[in-house]
């Protein structure tokens, strides 16, 4: 799937992928023996072992000689990736410049990790808020605004937990962060280091130039040199690799604060007790069939339409191009994608392009209320059982599938990209 890894998907897919993986659930977390805490809160932590003191030179003054980048990174990775409990806050920003017009997005979060697969995550942006709790038995995602939660299998390692929590916010920096938190380093070893200042504090500023990225890292001067900022400026090779059209520049930045290492975990911090009125998003059917990919025959399904009637997909296959948009009202990226696919479908309606938005297991009245509030008029199919989503192997939403006149899948889009409309228009024009 060529465009599933488009760089611009990164900012919101964590919400869609984590919350849209409705088939991937097992059982609720075990009952707690301790009084439940308020969902989404992380108690204060107690420092257990302070960092080692700075090396001193003659006269008791701190050494100011600029160190090697490799040495700085080794100290940082050794401490942060020790496997011991830690917590930190972060702000993720995608700075997109599209034909001179800024299209920036921001996500704020807090990560707390215990040993092994224990951890919690808080995420929020202007559209959605997500809390994740991982304990030895399960991984639970809670949506405070919807008062809804999802239970999934527990991660079997810290790295998989971090990947679950972070992948999709930023595909590339998330990989770096997952490696860092497990004590691995994949960045280039040759970093230019200079003394600088960040948020009013002295720091080390590191720069590296790779074939695909210009990298910048800011580390605290205080040992163990916790990261304060990590930024990636995509070069032409990366833009081509991720198929970003000309005229777009992209910088990805993660800022970190409130690092606390070597601390004692508050009791029951990773357990989740559903608040009053919370509903559990139940498992959908298992995925079926061979892996869905470009060139595969489009599977058939029959679904009820919102407002009455039914649609059997095979009645439309071979008569024109079909756009399928798998979505839900609670999914932030879905809310952005639906207007885009609607515009594309209307643009090519007189040339035989048909759109079906396939809602994933929501009540008709909730869907109708959402469409009315957004002043949207789109054909909605009700996948009440999740069977169509299972057939099309929808592990995260939004998921858009373009079916050609020959009945074969031509394109699959996962998540939402700032230039998604342009990409779809280009692809459909090539198929007409």
Mean pLDDT across the chain? 79
143 versus 56: the higher-pLDDT residue is 143
Identify the pLDDT of residue 42.
38
Residue 2 lies in a domain: no
Range of 56-65, 78-87, 178-187 with top mean pLDDT: 78-87
Q: Give the three-state DSSP class for 173.
A: helix
At 60, the pLDDT band (50, 70, 90 cuts) reads: very low
Q: What are the beta bridge partners of residue 151?
A: 140
pLDDT greater than 50 at residue 169: no
CA angle 75/78/83 to nearest 5° reads 155
pLDDT greater than 90 at residue 381: yes
In this structure, are 214 and 84 located in the same domain? yes
In this structure, are 298 and 347 located in the same domain? yes
232, 264, 296 - which closes a domain: 264
Range of 16-25, 57-66, 375-384 with top mean pLDDT: 375-384
In this structure, are 356 and 230 located in the same domain? no
Identify the pLDDT of residue 357.
97
Q: How many Å apart are CA 388 and CA 270, to the nearest integer?
A: 34
Q: Give the three-state DSSP class for 158.
A: helix
In sequence order, what E strands does 79-212 have? 86-98, 101-102, 105-113, 119-124, 129-134, 138-143, 148-153, 192-198, 201-209
Q: Which residue in 333, 389, 382 sits closest to 359, CA to CA?
A: 382
Residue 180 lies in a domain: yes
pLDDT greater than 80 at residue 415: no
Q: Which residue in 319, 337, 428, 417 sits closest to 374, CA to CA?
A: 337
How far apart, in Å, are the Cα atoms of 213 and each of 16, 178, 180, 232, 245? 27, 19, 18, 6, 17
Residue 275 lies in a domain: no
Identify the pLDDT of residue 61.
47
46 versus 387: the higher-pLDDT residue is 387
pLDDT greater than 70 at residue 167: no
pLDDT greater than 50 at residue 10: no
Residue 397 lies in a domain: yes
Q: How many Å apart are CA 73 and CA 184, to the nearest integer?
A: 10
In this structure, are 81 and 228 located in the same domain? yes
In this structure, are 252 and 348 located in the same domain? no
pLDDT greater than 90 at residue 382: yes
At 217, the pLDDT band (50, 70, 90 cuts) reads: very high
Percentage of the chain beyond pLDDT 70 is 79
**Residue 19, burial from CB neighbour count under 10 angstroms (0-12, 13-18, 19+):** buried
Q: How many Å apart are CA 94 and CA 11, to the nearest integer?
A: 7
Tens digits of per-residue pLDDT, 225-250? 999 999 999 898 888 877 676 778 88
Tens digits of per-residue pLDDT, 172-216? 677 788 788 888 876 787 899 999 999 888 999 999 999 999 999
Q: Could you tell me the CATH number of the domain that includes residue 291?
A: 3.40.30.10
Q: What are the beta bridge partners of residue 28?
A: none
Q: Could you tell me the CATH number of the domain that includes residue 237?
A: 2.50.20
In this structure, are 299 and 257 located in the same domain? no
In this structure, are 292 and 231 located in the same domain? no
How many domains would you assign to the chain? 2
- Long-range pairs of 61-64 with CB within 8 A, sequence gap ≥ 24: 64/195
In this structure, are 22 and 170 located in the same domain? yes
Residue 328 lies in a domain: yes
Residue 114 lies in a domain: yes
Least confident of 77-81, 97-101, 344-348, 358-362: 97-101
Identify the pLDDT of residue 47.
39
Residue 1 lies in a domain: no
pLDDT greater than 80 at residue 282: no
pTM score: 0.65
Helix then strand then coil, in percent of the chain rounded to 5, is 25, 30, 45
pLDDT greater than 70 at residue 22: no
Identify the pLDDT of residue 289.
64
In this structure, are 297 and 181 located in the same domain? no
Identify the pLDDT of residue 364.
94
Domain span at residue 225? 7-51+66-264
Identify the pLDDT of residue 26.
23
If you compute the radius of gyration of the chain from its CA atoms, what whole number of angstroms results? 24
How far apart, in Å, are the Cα atoms of 216 and each of 24, 196, 399, 425? 36, 12, 33, 35
Question: Are the C-beta atoms of 185 and 315 separated by less than 8 Å?
Answer: no
DSSP secondary structure, 351-418, as one string = GT-EEEEEEES--HHHHHHHHHHTT----EEEETTSHHHHHTT--SS-EEEEE-TTSBEEEEEES--T
279 versus 187: the higher-pLDDT residue is 279
pLDDT greater than 60 at residue 399: yes
In this structure, are 99 and 172 located in the same domain? yes
Q: Alpha-carbon torsion 368, 371, 377, 383, what sign?
A: negative
Q: Which residue in 253, 210, 257, 217 sits closest to 87, CA to CA?
A: 257
Residue 71 lies in a domain: yes
Tens digits of per-residue pLDDT, 314-333? 999 989 999 999 999 878 77
In this structure, are 113 and 40 located in the same domain? yes
In this structure, are 255 and 314 located in the same domain? no
């Amino acid at each position: 799937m060529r465009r599933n890894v488009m760089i611009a998907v990164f900012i919101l897919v964590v919400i869609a992928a984590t919350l849209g993986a409705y088939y991937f659930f097992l059982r609720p977390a075990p009952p707690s023996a301790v009084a439940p805490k308020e969902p989404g809160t992380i108690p204060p932590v107690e420092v257990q072992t302070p960092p080692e003191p700075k090396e001193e030179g003659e006269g008791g003054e701190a050494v100011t000689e600029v160190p090697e980048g490799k040495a700085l990174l080794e100290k940082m990775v050794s401490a942060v990736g020790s496997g011991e409990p830690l917590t930190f806050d972060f702000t993720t920003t995608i700075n997109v410049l599209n034909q001179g017009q800024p299209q920036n997005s921001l996500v704020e979060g807090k990560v707390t990790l215990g040993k092994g697969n224990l951890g919690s995550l808080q995420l929020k942006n202007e559209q959605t808020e997500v809390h994740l709790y991982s304990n030895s038995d399960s991984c639970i995602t809670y949506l405070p605004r919807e008062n809804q939660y999802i239970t999934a299998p527990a991660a079997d390692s810290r790295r998989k937990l971090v990947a679950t929590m972070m992948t999709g916010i930023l595909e590339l920096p998330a990989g770096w962060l997952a490696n860092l938190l497990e004590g691995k380093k994949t960045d280039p070893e040759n970093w230019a280091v200079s003394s600088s200042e960040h948020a009013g504090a002295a720091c080390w500023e590191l720069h590296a130039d790779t074939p695909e990225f210009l990298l910048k890292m800011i580390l605290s001067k205080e040992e163990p040199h916790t990261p304060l900022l990590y930024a990636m400026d995509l070069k032409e090779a990366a833009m081509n690799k991720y198929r970003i059209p000309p005229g777009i520049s992209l910088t990805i930045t993660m800022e970190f604060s409130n690092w606390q290492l070597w601390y004692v975990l508050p009791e029951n911090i990773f357990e989740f007790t559903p608040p009053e009125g919370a509903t559990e998003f139940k498992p959908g059917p298992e995925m079926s069939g061979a892996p869905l990919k470009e060139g595969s025959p489009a599977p058939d399904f029959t679904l009820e339409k919102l407002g009455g009637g039914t649609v059997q997909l095979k009645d439309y296959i071979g008569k024109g191009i079909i756009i399928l948009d798998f979505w839900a009202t609670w999914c932030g990226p879905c809310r952005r994608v639906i207007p885009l696919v609607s515009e594309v479908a209307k643009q090519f309606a007189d040339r035989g392009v048909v759109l079906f938005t396939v809602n994933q297991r929501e009540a008709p009245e909730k869907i109708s209320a959402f469409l009315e509030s957004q002043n949207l008029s789109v054909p909605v199919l009700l996948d009440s059982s999740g069977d169509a989503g299972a057939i099309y192997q929808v592990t995260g939403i939004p998921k858009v599938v373009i079916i050609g006149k020959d009945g074969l899948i031509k394109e699959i889009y996962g998540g939402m990209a700032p230039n998604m409309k342009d990409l779809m228009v280009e692809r459909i024009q090539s198929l007409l």
